Structures are given as C-alpha cells and as structure tokens.
Amino acid sequence: MDSAYPVDDIAPIAILMDELRSEDVQLRLNAIHSIPTIAMALGPDRAREELIPFLQDSVDDEDEVLLALAEELGRSFEEYIGGKDFAHVILGPLENLSAVEETLVRDKAAESITKVAAVLSQAQVEEYYIPLLKRLSHGEWFTSRTSSAALYPAVYSKVSSVIQDDLRKSYQALASDETPMVRRAAAKWLGALLKHFSQEHILSDGLPIYRRLQLDDQDSVRLLTVEDLIVLAQRMAPAEVKEQLLKQIRQSIGDKSWRVRYMAANHFNELAEAIGSELVREELIGQYVQLLKDNEAEVRTAAAGQIPGFSKLLDKEVILARIVPCVRDLSQDSSQHVRAALATQISGLAPLLGKAPTIEHLLPLFLHLLKDEFPDVRLNVISKLETVDTVIGIDLLSDSLLPAIVELAEDKSWRVRQAIIEYIPLLAKQLGKPFFDEQLGNLCMSWLGDTVFSIREAATVNLKRLTEVFGVEWAKVAIVPKVMGMGNHPNYLFRMTTVQAITTIAPSLNLDIIRTEVIGPLLLLFEDNIPNIRFNVAKAFEVLANTFGGSPDGREFVQQRIIPALEHLKNDPDSDVRFFAARALQKALSST
C-alpha cells in the first residue's frame, strides 16, 4: 500500500474490499453501494488502477449484487476516476455485466454503458466503445449479442461514416440472428437507431432490417416492430410510406397473432399521425374498424382506447358513418373490459360531433352504459361527464345519472363506493345546487356513517370540496347542522366522524359559522368518555387555531374558547390526549 495515504483512510477501504469478498450477500450489497465512497477515498488514480480492475475481476454470482453494481457504475461514476477523459475505463466491468444470464442485470448494464457513452468523445468512442460493441455483437453466447442491440443508438451519430457503415451491417446481422431473444432486442432498439440514420440509409438499410424483423416467425419479435414502423413512417414522405410501408401496415394490423394486433391497436393514433391524413382516409379507417371488430377482447379494448384520438383526424361525416356504428356495437360488447375502455373514451367524441349528433347518436349509448351491470363501466362514464356537459348539458342525462350514482354509492365493494365519492364534487358543479340538495345531499351525509374508515374519510373530504363548490352559506345550512348533530350519536364512530369532518371542513368555513354552529358541540365532545375522540378534538382545536388565529376576531375567539379547553385537556388522564393537547396548545398560543 502507498505510504502517502494515512492508515485511517486505508482501513475503511480495506474493510469494504473484504466485504466485497464476503459470503454474506447483504454485506456485498452494502459494499457495492459504497463504491463511490471507496473511489473518493482512494483518489482518481488508485480508483482506476485498483478499484476498477477489482470490480472487473469479481463478477459475483448473485444477481442482486450484480444489478446494484451495474446501477452504481452508471451514476456519473467517471467523476470519481478522473472525469470524462477516463470514462472509458468504466466500460470494462460493464461489458462483463452485459453478458451475464439475468436479463435485469444485462439491461441495467446496457443502460449504464449508454450513459457512459454520452460523456465520451468521438476518439474515445472509436477507440474503446466500438471494439466493445463488436465483441458483444459477435459474442459466442446470445446474452452478449442481446445486450449489444441497446448500445447502437447511443453512439451511431458520434462516429465516422465508415464506422456507421459497419454498425449498420452488424445490426443487420443481429436482426437475422438464429436466436429469437437477439432478434427481439434488435426489433426493440431499431426505432431508436433509425432516428439517427440519414434519409438515404433509412431506405437502403433501415427498411430491409425492419422488413426482415416484421416477417419473423416469432410473434414476440413481430409485435416489437410496430413501434419501428411508426419511426419509419415519421422519417419518410407520405408518397414513400404509400409505396414502401403500406403492405407492412396491413400485415401488422391483420397479423395472425392477437398480440401483434394488440400492439398495432395500442399505437394506432401514433401510426395515423405519422403516415399523414391522405393515407388515413384511404387506408387506415378500414383497418381501424377491423381492429374495433377484432375477435380478441384485448385487441378491441386497446382499439377502443384510441377512439377520440383517431376520430380527431377524420371528418364528422366519416365519424358518423364508420366509427359511431362500431361504438354502438362495443357498448353491447360481451367483455366488461371492452365496455369499460369504451366508457372512458366515448365522451371524447361529443366535442367532435357537436350537440345535435351527440344527442341523436351518443346520448342513447351514455344512458345504456350508465345502466351497465359492471360498476367500472358506470364509474368511467361518470368520470368523463364534464366533456359531455360542455356539449349537450347534463340535464338530458340527469334522470339516468341518479340511479347509477345511488347504485354505485351502495355497491358492496368499498373501492367502488370510494371512487364515486371522488366524482361527487364534479357532478355537483354540473348538476347545480337545487338538484344536488334534493337528490344527492342525504347520500353524501350517509357516507359519513359507512362501516369502512376510508369511505368515512373520503366523505369528509367530499364535504370540504362541496363547500368550495357551493359556498359557505350553503354549507352552513346543508352540511354543518347535520355533521354536528352526529356528535350526539350513541355510537362513538359517529361522534369521531363529526370531529374528523369538522377538522377537514373548518378551513373552508368562516369564523361566524365556527362560533355559532361548531364550537359548542366540540366543547361537549372534548369531555367524551373515549380518549380517541378527546385527542381528535385537540387536533380539531389545533386546526381552528391555525386557520382563524391570524385575524383580531379570530385571536380573541382562540383565547376565549380554545385555549381554556386545551389547558383542561393538557391534564387528561390519557397520555395520547395530553400529547396532542400540549401540541395544539403550543400552536394556539403561537398563533395568537
């Protein structure tokens, strides 16, 4: 060891080096995460000469440790070994990690190599990175060849045209590899690589590579070419797309494997935008209708998710003639997932069609979906009602809305009940105060007594948001008396809900309401038999003091009504009550 380094510096490094050799996986994992510390303590020269070779030689057999190593080396590790000029040194250990068996480790190693590539100069890339890429691309095991595909896009535009020619040939070899895993990787990364190709090479090299992969006998390869197709279409003129890619577009959309058709349906809007409006009109409308009528529910679900986005590219007459009939069929689909996807998207057609066509064609479908047996379908329709409201108003839907909301509010699944509570303020805004008070007011109060705590909690937040929608005066009449009335309930859960509701709503109320309606019942509850209620009252007092202690009237109110009550609670027999009372008292005193 170099005597220039103090023993105190070297000792922890030696310990960490030993931990890297330890049989205990957790110790090795901790040591890996400490590598930046080791490198910093060693200094740049020793980190390059001792630490990096050590890491390169100790390829651990535990995937968890290897993954951590690949991750650490990609976190700007060059800063610890002398900066960008020496960044290529990190490539050694990462090359070893790129060839291991575990996919997660290989992917992370490839990701770290591309991060290193970003800081390399052209000379470093050509001297160190390209040889590494060639070794991995021609590796004996498929694992290294699979990893190599991810490394091409990062440096293609950084190297000379001669090396670019070699890279294109090497990538072509990966696309024709005998191992499906390698071809999958080639298909996955082709799109990213094509973005760096010149226009000339898109047609001469990119297109043949894509066509080879698009005709692969493995559907796991073909499904990844859908995204490559979109990149090609973006890089080519509409006339070239029509001439060179039309056949492939038809093949992907009509592929015998549902997984490929699913990918095509899932990326349909991107494809439509890439190929241009003329081809959309001539070709894609028919292809899209084909996907909406697919035999597989997964494909129909993905296609339904694209309805508004694709329809934006079409004329209103075409939407009515070709898309709306399919939407009508999908609303009756046997798969609940298809109907749920449609329910989320169908409202997006309303702004495109306008008021009269929406009332004629879409309104019956909204009403039908609001009566669907599957709660998610009804919820999805309700969640998007704002879009419909802006086009036709909500009055036409209100008769069907009410039964749907009541059913969802009483659903046996508490998650469904919670979801509908979250949409109530939005509905309140659209339905208006009179309709809400008459039809939904009691329903909102009933949630405060739900058996599930999450529902009671959501109900209190709902009341706060409704106060923000309808105003404080409405809350004074419609909410506060009912909430405070629950404070006299014999069941402690109802009394607890009163306290929690006031704690939540108080910031949205004014001091007058707190004085006249709220503080009296709260002062009764702070003497409740149940300690949980007493310490929640202390929390409520804290919120009131924070909210209203800023104004002169508020300070007077806090001093006269809240501080004496907290002084009393501070001496409560229960330790939790004393704790929250002391905390609230401190806040109350500081606010005044």
At 74, phi and psi to the nearest 5? Answer: -95, 0
Residue 61 reports pLDDT greater than 70: no
What's the confidence (pLDDT) of residue 185?
A: 92
The CA distances from residue 483 to 28, 157, 444, 486, 503, in Å, are 58, 67, 11, 5, 12
Q: What is the pLDDT of residue 13?
A: 59
In sequence order, what are the residues at sequence separation of 6 or more whose Cβ sits closer than 8 angstroms to the Cβ of residue 411?
Answer: 375, 417, 420
Name the amino acid, one letter, at 582: A
**pLDDT category of residue 230 using cuts at 50, 70 and 90:** very high
- Residue scoring higher pLDDT (68 or 60): 68
Q: Which of 20-24, 135-139, 409-413, 427-431 has the highest mean pLDDT?
A: 135-139
CA distance 521 to 517: 8
Could you give phi then psi for residue 220, rounded to 5 degrees? -65, -25
DSSP assignment of 14-70 equals: HHHHHHHT-S-HHHHHHHHHTHHHHHHHH-HHHIIIIIHHHHHH---S-HHHHHHHH
Confidence grade of residue 420 (pLDDT, cut at 50, 70, 90) = confident
Task: Indicate the burial class of 113 (C-beta count within 10 angstroms; 0-12, 13-18, 19 or more).
Answer: buried
Helix, strand, coil fractions of the chain, as percent rounded to 5: 80, 0, 20
Please give the structure tokens belonging to residue 110: 């490839």
pTM of the predicted model as reported, rounded to 2 decimal places: 0.75
Q: Which of 216, 223, 221, 194 is nearest to 207 (CA)?
A: 194
User: Is the confidence at residue 2, as pLDDT, over 50?
Assistant: no
CA 339 to chain centre: 22
pLDDT of residue 5: 41
571 by Cβ neighbours in 10 Å (0-12 / 13-18 / 19+) ranks as: exposed
pLDDT tens digits, one per residue of 168-195: 889 989 888 888 999 999 999 998 989 8
- Give 524-532 contacts, CB < 8 A, sequence gap 24+: 524/487, 525/487, 525/495, 525/498, 525/499, 526/565, 526/568, 526/569, 528/492, 528/495, 530/492, 530/495, 530/496, 531/572, 531/574, 531/576, 531/577, 532/492, 532/496
State the pLDDT confidence band at 342, using cuts at 50, 70 and 90. Answer: very high
- Given this model, what pLDDT does residue 329 score? 93
Token pair belonging to 454:
């999450």
Mean pLDDT, residues 319-330 taken together:
92
- The DSSP element (H or E) to which 156 belongs, if any, is none
Residue bearing the bigger pLDDT, 460 or 2:
460
Please report which confidence band the pLDDT of residue 327 belongs to, taking 50, 70 and 90 as the band edges. Answer: very high
Greater confidence (58 vs 117) lies with: 117
